Chain A
């Protein structure tokens, strides 16, 4: 039944996205201006789905009687809320603020769904408070432009079973070559070094990101799409090798089987984002105390590069009547220590704010991870995330197409590189259909 819902939702979403996008392309707007405070008390609406948002909003409402925020919710972005935002923007009744993941921001920008809040008080100057790469995601590198405030991020590191590596006498890999060598040894022991997540294309993008690759570029007028650049193919070939040698499993991520596989010690590592800490803890309770975290394996020994998987921003949606107050709320939400602490406690968010990473909660030893202060590793990874990765304007479609290709690889036909080539073609076709200019 769920599947049917999703299919219906997706097909309708595609249809209406096509209808709504019409002929809109990246419109150039006048430099930000005219963002003045409103007179008198203001009521705002904020739609988000991160757990605990309601409580954090209540905290703001307590402290700001003149700017009351009404919290609204729905399914996660790609599951329907983004499409709702687009419908509501068209109808002129969108919420003032919305949660938008970084990989969806370009879609909203291209379809002119975001307010430029750079001139709303001191928003432009607030950039220093956020990790560089997150700020460049919300400004698109444009001057005098801020389209959203970064909320959380997902710097990637390597979770690994410290006990198993030690017992087997295998050194913990620090490069991808060592990782492949360890994979072979672990396979000989009857386990897997990790699972290849065929549907998490954004995870794969995180791997390409770490390697310094790009899938999209935008020169201000045209988009270029190339999922098969040298750096991207290097990553694809690497994982293809692991798949060919059957050194990685191919379970559906976050499924019961997948959890069980972690819980029973079949999986020795998980290259994943900071929010994955909670996923392992709840999915593999029997392995408590046996895990540890290290930085991602590197392509060249001695490098310091990390990728990112996930993370959201708080955007002021087009048509908000109170962009000034909305921007102030968004800034508070993502910089105020009490708000960040509550968001981490209830929603497990890892803040994009630089100071946020130094909150007491991130300095504590983690019992599940053998008493390691794992967030110190993630803070280091966060600083190593390559700052200029660009998402395309139709990531939902790109993910679906590449994921179909990856699925076929698991089923035994084609290679990951083929899937990326098909993904490039289909993405160019989709952008052309949306009248978004693509450089050939």
Chain B
């Protein structure tokens, strides 16, 4: 219990610091205690947020919306693809099934960072760098999602049920969407969340692919601000407040999907 308390504190202090810092003016960073609110925290916070959103023609709002689009749409499509793929691997016998599954699984071991440069060269060939697709297309692939979907489908979708659906005349596609996805829901939520977080935090791929700041996700935008603090000190407070704002959607996504999530995660582990 004590150990847990210590670790909780350890993980929460940076977030607490971020929250407190985002309620300070630039001058107060250096002159006030780092983990304690100042007297006029709330008006300063509102002021900071207003300044952040208005800076440079609302570019930060644009970045947040980009991130929501990359992560939201990417995770949604990624989940559908992973679910179909995992379901097919679990429920259909075909030649090379295990080989295919192992190839997909080995994809889990390759870090996304290592793939960024080859992807850049490929996208350059087809002239798609510095576009929305350059970040979006690689984001909808999730080998881990396929793995989880397969494990979950084989344990929670009974063959008898599929057999019954077929006898009733349901097509394979309809069976998948009407029957299987319902049963796989907890796993799908897990895959969605994982993928959402992975895309939201993805940094290296956009760094390499994008040059047009109106396409940046919020991670890359904050990083480029942070890298020019030396030249442009007013950005320091925007980076801190921006970092705080950028974790809010993640927190919302986690809290609202949490009850589905824990069930799904365990399902993969017992198999």
Contact = CB atoms under 8 A, between A and B. Distances in A.
Interface of A: 1-2, 5, 8-9, 12, 16, 45, 47, 49-51, 72-76, 79-80, 84, 87-88, 90-93, 95, 254, 256-257, 259-260, 263, 275, 278-279, 282-283, 285-286, 347-348
Given A49-B224, A90-B121, A91-B120, A75 B207 contact: yes
Contacts of B211: 45, 47, 72-74, 84, 95
B230 A279 contact: yes
A256 to B, nearest CB: 5
B212 interface: yes
Interface in B112-159: 113-114, 116-117, 120-121, 124-125, 127, 129-130
A70 to B, nearest CB: 8
Contact of A256 (B29, B121, B203): B29
B232 interface: yes
Interface string B73-117: 000000000000000000000000000000000000000011011
A102 to B, nearest CB: 15
Nearest to B201: A1
Contacts of A16: 117
Contacts of A75: 207, 220, 223-224, 226-228
B31 interface: yes
Contacts of B27: 285
A2 B30 contact: no
A279 B232 CA distance: 8
B26 A282 contact: yes
Contacts of A348: 231-232
A259 B120 CA distance: 40
B229 interface: yes
A79 B227 contact: yes
| The 9 residue pairs across chains A and B that have the minimum distance between CB atoms | A91-B124, A72-B211, A79-B227, A260-B30, A282-B233, A75-B227, A75-B224, A76-B227, A51-B232
A263 B117 contact: no
Interface in B162-213: 201, 203-204, 207-208, 210-213
Nearest to A77: B227
Contacts of A79: 223-224, 227
Nearest to A20: B117
Contact of B31 (A9, A72, A263, A282): A263
Nearest to B225: A75
Interface in B7-39: 26-27, 29-31
Contact of A72 (B30, B117, B212, B232): B212
A261 to B, nearest CB: 9
Contacts of B127: 93
B233 A283 contact: yes
B213 A73 contact: yes
B204 A260 contact: no
A1 B239 CA distance: 13
Interface in B223-271: 223-224, 226-234
A8 B125 CA distance: 25
A12 B204 contact: yes
A221 B252 CA distance: 60
Contact of B226 (A2, A87, A92): A2
Contacts of A88: 124, 129
A254 B227 contact: no
Contact of B208 (A49, A73, A84, A286): A84
Contacts of B228: 49-51, 75-76
A9 to B, nearest CB: 6
Nearest to A93: B124
A51 B231 CA distance: 8
A254 B230 contact: yes
Contacts of A279: 230, 233
Nearest to B125: A91
Given A2-B226, A80-B207, A347-B231, A12 B116 contact: yes
Nearest to A16: B117
B144 to A, nearest CB: 19
A93 B209 CA distance: 11
B224 A73 contact: yes
B8 to A, nearest CB: 19
B31 A260 contact: yes
A12 B113 contact: yes
Contacts of A87: 117, 120-121, 208
Contacts of A259: 29-30
Contacts of B204: 5, 8-9, 12
Contacts of B227: 49, 75-76, 79-80
Contacts of A72: 130, 211-213
A94 B97 CA distance: 42
B252 to A, nearest CB: 19
Given A72-B130, A74-B211, A87-B208, 11 more contacts: A12-B116, A12-B117, A16-B117, A47-B211, A51-B231, A73-B224, A74-B210, A87-B117, A90-B121, A91-B120, A91-B129
A49 B223 CA distance: 12
A347 B232 contact: yes
Contacts of B116: 12
B129 A93 contact: yes
23 contacts: A1-B201, A2-B223, A5-B203, A5-B219, A9-B204, A12-B117, A16-B117, A74-B224, A75-B207, A75-B224, A76-B228, A84-B207, A87-B117, A90-B121, A91-B120, A93-B124, A254-B230, A256-B30, A259-B30, A260-B30, A263-B31, A285-B27, A348-B232
A321 to B, nearest CB: 15
A375 B27 CA distance: 26
Contacts of A76: 224, 227-228, 231
Contacts of A5: 203-204, 219, 223
B30 A263 contact: yes
Contacts of A257: 30
Contacts of B233: 278-279, 282-283
A79 B227 CA distance: 7
Contacts of B30: 256-257, 259-260, 263, 283
Nearest to A258: B30
B143 to A, nearest CB: 19
